[in-house]
A and B are shown apart, each in its own frame.
Chain A
Amino acid sequence: MKIELQELVHSYPSGDRALDGVNLTFEGQEPVAIIGQNGAGKTTLVKHLNGILRPSSGHVLIDGTDIETASTAKWSAKLGYIFQNPDDQLFLESVRKEFEFGPRQIGMGQEEIDRRMERVADLVGLTGKLDTHPFDLGPTDKKFCTIGAVLMMNTQVVIFDEPTCGQDKAGNERLGRIIAELGRQGRLCIAISHDMKFVSTNFSRVVLMCQGKVLLDGPKDQVFSQESVLKQAYVTPPPLTRVAQESGLDRPVFTVPAFIEAVKDAGQH
């Protein structure tokens, strides 16, 4: 599946541009992180991918078809969107019912629902909590409930809006496992995140946005090497990457093992 954004502009009634001519292509299964400050246009951008918002000008093409030609409901079968605030998404009285709701709407049979439920509940770590009321879940599990409800739809593309907000170590690791598994299944993950550690650990491609424009787009090592552009967008590289840069290592590193390798290689020169 291929998503193309062409000269995408989104203007507010005031005339201010939330998106100011964005050109981007998402394809394949390589997970993409969209970073940038609040107000950079990240959420506005992803809300165009499934037709929640319509462009003021420019085009969103999915597999070559302009989404202007179809309704939101049709595209939501292809793209799943996980809200930043679980309370905006959850409204039923058990995790099971949240998980069943989407599939029921598209007329999926109970057998298929049960089959998916088992897999999804296991992946998001809620197997033992299917009969719990979502508002009795802790903040971490509540977030994973919203993720599970979207994964039940088996969409080709899954969009996460700030998935790490308020997560602890275990929550972030669970999230990392989900993103890796979606990649293995050949599905595309797009995530908006402020958490540079989370981004550099789980994503290979990074898109940097600032004031409605794409400033950088590429492999994470290239993006996080552009210190001055990052600074201009008020983004700080993750801690290990900063240490590597400041101590003069010759390449961007994101993990402890990569750092050790870089130190070893530097020692041999």
Chain B
Amino acid sequence: MTSIIEVEDFSFRYRNASSAALRHLSFEVERGSFFCIVGANGSGKSTLCNALVGLIPHYFVGRSGGGIRVKGNQVADTSIPELSKHIGLVFQNPFNQLSYTAGTVAEELAYGLGNHGVPRELMEEKVRQVAALMHLESVIDKNPLELSGGQVQRVAFGSTFIMEPDILVLDECTAQLDPLGSEEIFDIVKRLNDRGITVVMVDHDMERVARCADQVMVLDGGRLVAIGSPQEVLSDPRTMDHGVDLPDFAKLSLALQAEGYPVDRIHTTEEPTVSMVKELLS
């Protein structure tokens, strides 16, 4: 097991902010793992995403302490273009991610590749592949600003994915999509993870986190308050003290246990919960 991201005693305070956004975070992300960050709004999740990809300290001004290494590179000492070869961020608000210089979806998708001097033919091939993957073929010649919120989110995802980074950081990147659209994107993320891409994801959907994550980290007020497997973190009622819901499956298991039913494990996913209830009913 090797770590692809190492965060050591990292703190950050935005300039003019009255308190720190992140406080003394230390954790590691295993290469190839699916790592989820959960926490209430304002707990520091998006700030951490910005720090992992270098927008902090290269773009957002503030005071930081400690360090973050991505594939061995100190983020503070590595330029954003260099970092973007290794780690890519899909923003929570896709409109924050658009270049606002591209006239078409194709140009928007190709934007990062252009910055890296990828030859035109290869660029066109990659744009075609990503457009197909993200269901963007029909809007490929449209202006990104004329698209629906869901389509812009697909463009944002595609423009990160096209860079083929080893690490994908996803900050609630499906918030603009309906459940079907969001599951589609999610299946793609899952497939990429199966192929060895490390995924760091912020999500409020606890059932999905429980289903997909190898590791879950809980932030509260910029501090790391819990980290472990989804089974450990999302079956523990104390997680709710930090403004984070448990999956409904765990809440049901806990309630059945409290009623005196023989529940030997607090389940966090659907199938074992169904088996448990069937057993209780038989």
CB distance from A1 to the nearest CB of B (A): 30
B74 within 8 A of A: no
Which of B172, B176, B240, B281 has a CB less than 8 Å from the CB of A263?
B281
Instruction: List the A side residues contacting B40 at CB < 8 Å.
Output: 168-170
Neighbouring B residues of A256 by C-beta, 8 Å: 248, 251-252, 255
Complex contact A243–B274 (CB within 8 A) = yes
CB pair B281–A85 under 8 Å, yes or no, is no
CB-CB under 8 A for A168 and B252, given A139-B41, A234-B180, A263-B281: no
Contact check, A239 vs B150: say whether CB atoms are below 8 A apart. Answer: no
| Nearest-CB residue, chain B, relative to A241 | B248
B46 to chain A: closest residue by CB = A139
Interface centre among A138, A167, A257, A263 (most CB of B within 10 A): A263
Residues of A participating in the B interface, judged by any CB pair closer than 8 Å: 37-38, 85, 138-140, 165-171, 194, 196-197, 234-236, 238-240, 242-244, 246-249, 256-257, 259-260, 263-264, 266-267
Chain A's closest residue to B276 (CB) is: A247
Cβ-defined contact, A239 with B180, below 8 A: no
Give the interface residue-count category, chain B.
35 or more
Instruction: For the complex formed, measure the closest distance between the CB of B219 and the CB atoms of chain A, giving whole angstroms.
Output: 11
- Residues of A contacting B273 in the complex (Cβ-Cβ under 8 angstroms): 243
Chain A contacts for B166, CB-based, 8 A: none
CA distance A257 to B258 in the complex (A): 12
Q: Is the CB of A263 within 8 A of B261?
A: yes
Note all chain B residues with C-beta closer than 8 A to A247.
Answer: 274, 277-278, 281
Q: Which residues on the B side are within 8 Å of A240 (C-beta)?
A: 248, 252
A133 to chain B, nearest CB (A): 14
Q: Is the CB of B175 within 8 A of A243?
A: no
Can you name the residue of chain B whose Cβ is closest to the Cβ of A42?
B178
B180 touches A37 (CB 8 A): yes
Residues on the B chain within 8 Å of A167, using CB: 41, 204
* Structural contact, A194 and B178, CB atoms closer than 8 A: yes
Contacts of A197 in B (CB 8 A): 248
The CA of A243 and the CA of B42, in the complex, are separated in Å by 32
- CB of B179 within 8 A of CB of A166, answer no
Are A194 and B278 touching (Cβ within 8 A)? no
By the criterion CB–CB under 8 Å, are B179 and A236 in contact? yes
Is A171's CB under 8 angstroms from B41's CB?
yes
Kindly state the separation between the CA atoms of A248 and B279 in the bound complex, as whole angstroms.
11
Distance between Cα atoms of A266 and B180 in the complex (Å): 34
B222: min CB distance to chain A, Å = 14
A196–B182 alpha-carbon span in the complex (Å): 14
Interface members, chain B 153-190 (any A CB < 8 Å): 172, 175-181
Partner of A168, one of B41, B92, B281: B41
Q: Which of B175, B251, B280 contacts A165 (CB 8 A)?
A: B175
- Binary contact readout B206-241 vs A (1 if CB under 8 angstroms, 0 otherwise): 010000000000000000000000000000000010
Cα separation A239 to B208 with both chains bound (whole Å): 11
